[in-house]
A and B are shown apart, each in its own frame.
Chain A
Amino acid sequence: MSDNKILDRIVPRQQREWDIKGALNFILGGAGSGLLVASPFAAMLGADPRPFVALGMALVAGGLFSVWLKIGRPWRAFHVVRRPSTSWMTREALIAPFLFGAGALGVLTGAPLFVLIAALMGALYAYAQGRILKANIGISAWRRWSCVALIVVTAVVEGVGIVAFCAPFWPSLAPLGFLLAALIVARYIAWTNYLADLRRTGAPKGTLEAFDVFAPRFLILGHAAAIVFALIGAIGMYPTALALGGAFAAVAGALFKYTLVCRAAFTQGFALPRTPARGRSKPGPGLQPGWQPPQAS
């Protein structure tokens, strides 16, 4: 079935409305919010959290700017705050000023309280991003709690990964490798749970194919290699190894979100419980073209 012919849209099709600019809101916003969450841990290990808070805010701002470039009517973007009752996009937009406010005060004063509040806002921001995706029930790959969990865990892994990447500048960050390794394990669990959820409930074939292509790289580079480097960095006190582990973990997270938004996001398509009897024909069996049926557990 061609994507170009609107009349052929029976099978699920890859969504095209949110391209890389839309995906960057999740890639940069997720990494930035995760970095805000990770900043207090950096402070606990003796590093100055302010550069991390500043970078976290810059990444979140970059994500918002990217999506602002994407929307059809950017000069009326302020309307985005009008439906806090149900829209997680509104809630994300409402969290942002508090995130930037607390982050700015944290950078200016260096007060731990503001760094902690910025971390809390970062966690809420990442959660809101997960819920934005979950609320979009037209996309099977997104409309599930396992996706929310994966988005949040990925954000935190990216944040800690970016802090770990800076270990050569703050050698005292070396023990962060243990936390990074533990979080990568958590992401692996969330990832496998997510894939199992997709197969258990059924999903568009295109979604599963996109993840099948992505999974080996994600597991080898984003998990196995990242854990090895993180542990080498932590146990052997090698900042460069820790930086490599952080880079692998963070880049893998970004690639996952690109895949989730731009590659694996397929529409629902259409289905028939059975075909109708037309004229002298008999009713036929039901069908849902382009769909991988649920797997028996």
Chain B
Amino acid sequence: MSAQANADKRYVMAIDLRRCVGCQTCTAACKNANATPPGVQWRRVLDIETGEFPEVQRTFMPVGCMHCANPPCMHVCPTTATKLRADGLVTIDYDICIGCANCVMACPYDARSIQHIAKYAYGTPMKSEEARFEPERLGVATKCTFCKDRIDLAAKTGQTPGVDPEVTPACVNSCISDAMHFGDINDPNSNVSKMLGRTEHFRMHEELGTDPSIYYILDGDEA
């Protein structure tokens, strides 16, 4: 219902690669917000080293589910567990998914995981892990949700994802260098629309026709 209310929207993320410092705070924030088990990271930051000494460069690139507008994971999903919402979020229904891993193979972004057995940081569960353990996530595909509960909350409260922290994905809120931004690209006045309008950017593996919703900024006006 919330997604229907957002039918005219398409939520995207814009990540300024010039600003990302590879601190992995978004990774930690995601783990905290979503209680993902050890070995599963819905948001992670790749550390890419290029060049040869002394001309060496490091680039940090946060990656995760790209919430594609043409999601190959959804097309191959035999169960309809993976769906594309009207507001652009790609979701997984854990009650329907059979854990066949077809979507894992279809995703060109290595964004999906299947945890077949419960894993804990220190072998046996800590109280916090016990409290937040979600058995329905075992044996099924999981991935970044763009913190969809927060997006759904925005439809109720009238707040704006990407502007109001309560309705913005945890990774974006946590970014210490203001590299990550979130918003509605169908709104020409949104933060991300304005930012993408004045910067040079690309989307990962666009040539595969997935129409991903994460934009990586390489150059242009930072103001």
Which A residues are closer than 8 A to B by beta carbons?
6-7, 9-10, 13, 15, 17-18, 22, 67, 70-74, 76-77, 79-83, 86-90, 93, 132, 135-139, 142, 265, 267-278, 281, 283-285, 287, 289
Residues of A within 8 A of B79 (CB): 79-80, 82-83
Chain-A contact segment, one of B47-55, B165-173, B185-193: B47-55
In the complex, the answer to whether A136 meets B105 with C-beta atoms within 8 Å is yes
- Docked-complex contact A273 and B78, CB < 8 angstroms: no
| B204 proximal to A (CB < 8 A) | yes
Between A and B, 5 residue pairs with Cβ closer than 8 Å are A15-B104, A72-B97, A82-B96, A276-B217, A287-B48
Q: By CB atoms of chain A within 10 A, which of B46, B98, B109 has the most? A: B98
Contacts of A15 in B (CB 8 A): 104-105
| Residue among B44, B48, B79 with max Cβ neighbours from chain A (10 Å) | B79
Chain A proximity mask over B162-183: 1 for CB below 8 Å, otherwise 0: 0000000000000000000000
Interface pair B59/A73, CB less than 8 Å apart: no
Cβ–Cβ contact A138 & B96, under 8 A? no
Do residues B48 and A10 form an inter-chain contact, with CB atoms below 8 A? Answer: yes
One of A9, A13, A86, A281 near B76 (C-beta < 8 A): A86
- Inter-chain CA distance A138–B45, complex, in Å, is 19
A9 CB contacts on chain B under 8 angstroms: 44, 46, 110
The smallest C-beta distance from A58 to any residue of chain B, in angstroms, reads: 22
**Contact A142 to B18, CB < 8 A, known contacts A278-B57, A283-B218:** no
A-B contact count (CB 8 A): 161
Question: A281 touching B57 by the CB < 8 A rule?
Answer: yes
B1-53 interface with A by 8 A CB criterion: 17-18, 24, 39, 41, 44-48, 50-51
- List 9 A-B pairs, minimum CB-CB distance, nearest first: A72-B99, A72-B139, A136-B105, A17-B101, A79-B79, A89-B78, A268-B108, A90-B78, A86-B75
Contacts of B61 in A (CB 8 A): 270, 272
Chain A residues closer than 8 Å to B218, beta-carbon distance: 273-274, 276-277, 283
Nearest chain B residue, comparing its CB with the CB of A81: B78
- Name the B residues within 8 Å of A271 (CB-CB): 204-205
B77 within 8 A of A: yes
A278 to B17, CA, bound (A): 8
Q: A6-B39, A87-B76, A283-B218 are in contact. List 9 more A-B contacts (CB 8 A).
A: A7-B41, A9-B110, A72-B138, A73-B98, A76-B98, A132-B102, A136-B72, A268-B208, A275-B57
B205 and A268 contact, CB distance less than 8 A: yes
> Which residues of chain A are near B59, meaning CB under 8 Å?
272, 275-276, 278
Please, which residues of chain A bring their CB within 8 A of the CB of B18?
Answer: 276-278
- Which single residue of chain B is at the shortest CB-CB distance from A133? B105
Q: Is the CB of A136 within 8 A of B102?
A: yes
B140 on the interface (CB 8 Å rule)?
yes
Q: Are B81 and A79 in contact (CB under 8 A)?
A: yes
- Would B205 and A135 count as touching, CB distance under 8 A? no
Interface hits, B50-103 → A, CB 8 Å: 50-51, 57, 59, 61, 63, 72, 74-81, 96-102
CB-CB under 8 A from A273, the residues of chain B are 202, 218
Q: Are A72 and B116 in contact (CB-based, < 8 A)?
A: yes
Distance from A250 Cβ to chain B, minimum over Cβ atoms (Å): 26
Q: How far is the CA of A132 from the CA of B103 in the complex (A)?
A: 11
Q: How far is the CA of A274 from the CA of B202 in the complex (A)?
A: 10
A6 with B219, Cβ < 8 A, contacts A18-B105, A71-B100 known: no
Expressed in whole angstroms, the minimum distance between the Cβ of B148 and any Cβ of chain A is 21
Indicate which residue in B77, B80, B105 contacts A17 across the interface (CB closer than 8 Å).
B105
CA distance A268 to B205 in the complex (A): 9
Chain A hits for B114, CB < 8 A: 17, 72
A109–chain B nearest beta-carbon distance, Å: 32
Are B44 and A87 interface neighbours, CB within 8 A?
no
| Binary flags per residue of B131-151, CB closer than 8 Å to A gives 1, else 0 | 000000011100000000000
Known: A79-B79, A278-B57, A284-B57. A138 touches B140 (CB 8 A): no
Assess whether B154 is interfacial by the CB under 8 Å rule: no
| B110 and A135 contact, CB distance less than 8 A | no
CB-nearest residue of chain A relative to B141? A72
* CA gap between A9 and B46 in the complex, in Å: 7
Inter-subunit contact A136/B98 (CB<8 Å): no
B107 at the interface (CB under 8 A from A): yes
The residue in chain A whose Cβ has the minimal distance to the Cβ of B204 is A270
Complex: A248 Cα to B116 Cα, angstroms? 37
B118 within 8 A of A: no
